[in-house]
Amino acid sequence: MEKVRADICKLGSRHAFEDKWDGKDLSDEQIEEKAQQACKEAEGTTSIYTKAYQKTKDILLSKEQVFTSMRFDYRIIGFNTAYGHIKEDVEAVALSEER
């Protein structure tokens, strides 16, 4: 179950990154809808997704250099490497109450 929670956290973060890339700024309600859709088969992980998405969104909006670095890594290597820039911060928030 720990891997499932970490994967959901990563998925929420990835979606926030991709939405920022696409110039989208989702409201809390839209994030919740997206979380429910993404997690409909992974019961109990909606809150992890929502917290991961929101934390990633906060990081990307406040630290443009992080977004730029992630975008570069994403283009060249892929999201797994790009996620490394924020993984610790995102998972500290999204998984804090789940552990």
Please write the tens of the pLDDT for every residue from 39-87: 775 666 778 888 999 999 999 999 999 999 999 999 999 999 999 999 9
Element (H, E) at 44: none
Q: What does the alpha-carbon distance between residue 76 and residue 21 come to, in Å, rounded to a whole number?
A: 15
User: Where in the sequence is the domain holding 30, given as residue range(s)?
Assistant: 2-94
For residue 11, tell me if it sits in a domain. Answer: yes
Q: What φ, ψ does residue 43 adopt, rounded to 5°?
A: -50, 135
For residue 99, tell me if it sits in a domain. Answer: no
What average pLDDT does the segment 2-18 reach?
87
Task: Look up the pTM and report it.
Answer: 0.71
Mean of the per-residue pLDDT values for the chain? 88
Q: What φ, ψ does residue 82 adopt, rounded to 5°?
A: -60, -40
**Structural domain tally of the chain?**
1
